[in-house]
Structure formats: C-alpha cells, structure tokens
C-alpha cells in the first residue's frame, strides 16, 4: 500500500467518523426536540387538569358551604321551636297558677260571704258562662 492510499483511508475514516458524529448529533437533537414537544404537551395537559381540579375543589367548597348554611338554618329553626315550646310551657304554667289563684280567691270569698253557698257550684257556673259556656 502506498502512502497516498493510507492517507486516503485515514482521511476517509476521519470523514466517516465526522459524518457519524454529525448524524448522531442531529439524531440526538431531533430526539431532544421530540422530548421537549412531549414535555410541553404534558405540561399543557397538566395545566388543564389543574384547572379542572381547582374547579372541582371550588364546587366542593361551595357545596360544603351550602350544606353548612342549611344545617345552621335547621339548627336555628330547631332552637326557635324549642324556645316556642318553652314559652308555651311557661304560659301554661302561668295559666294554671292564675286558675289556682282564682279558685283560692273564690273559696276565700265563699268563706267570707254569708250569702254564698258552700258548694262553689254558683261560682263554677259563673266562670263557665264567662269563658263561653265550655263544658255544657
């Protein structure tokens, strides 16, 4: 082999190595670009899902707030009902106390009045007539 042939083979080998390196580098760049595009698509999809998640979270928070308001309203109505019931009980107790006081006063009046009958029937009839004739 001549020196020219050896030099041609060496130059050919170097050119081939440079060509392989350039092709490999271009392939690496294309692969990196595909990866960047894929990563960009994934980021965009992730942003969309984040927006959906935030919307779902806001909807859930709104539903929880509505349920809490409804529960508070229900508890308020129950408290008002308990207060109404307690007021009715107090009024019933007061009415009973006033009725008992009236009976006691009628009994004392019968004891004092020489013309009143001892049975209390006349007072009972008078009270019955004043209250609208109930019990007849």
Rounded-to-integer distance, Cα 96 and Cα 88, Å:
12
Domain-embedded: residue 126: no
Residue 3: predicted pLDDT = 92
Domain-embedded: residue 135: no
Domain-embedded: residue 121: no
* Average of per-residue pLDDT across 57-73: 97
pLDDT tens digit sequence for 70-123: 999 999 999 999 999 999 999 999 999 999 998 889 888 888 877 766 666 666
Domain count within the chain: 1
Asked whether 109 and 115 are in contact (CB, 8 A), the reply is no
Sign of the C-alpha dihedral computed for residues 90, 93, 99 and 104 taken in this order: negative
Domain-embedded: residue 79: yes
* Average of per-residue pLDDT across 14-32: 96
Domain-embedded: residue 120: no
Rounded-to-integer distance, Cα 111 and Cα 107, Å:
6
Q: Is the model's pLDDT at 136 over the cut of 50?
A: no
Q: What is the DSSP letter of 116?
A: S
Rounded-to-integer distance, Cα 67 and Cα 17, Å:
73
Domain-embedded: residue 38: yes
Domain-embedded: residue 99: yes
Which segments of the chain does DSSP mark as H helices, in order? 3-112, 121-130
């Amino acid at each position: 082999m001549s020196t020219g042939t050896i030099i041609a083979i060496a130059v050919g080998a170097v050119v081939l190595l440079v060509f392989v390196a350039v092709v490999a580098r271009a392939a690496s760049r294309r692969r990196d670009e595909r990866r960047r595009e894929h990563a960009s698509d994934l980021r965009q999809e992730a942003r969309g899902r984040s927006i959906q998640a935030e919307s779902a979270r806001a909807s859930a928070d709104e539903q929880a707030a509505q349920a809490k308001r409804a529960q508070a309203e229900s508890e308020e109505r129950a408290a008002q009902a308990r207060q109404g019931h307690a007021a009715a009980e107090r009024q019933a107790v007061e009415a009973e106390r006033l009725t008992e006081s009236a009976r006691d006063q009628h009994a004392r009046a019968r004891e004092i009045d020489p013309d009143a009958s001892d049975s209390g029937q006349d007072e009972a009839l008078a009270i019955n007539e004043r209250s609208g004739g109930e019990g007849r």
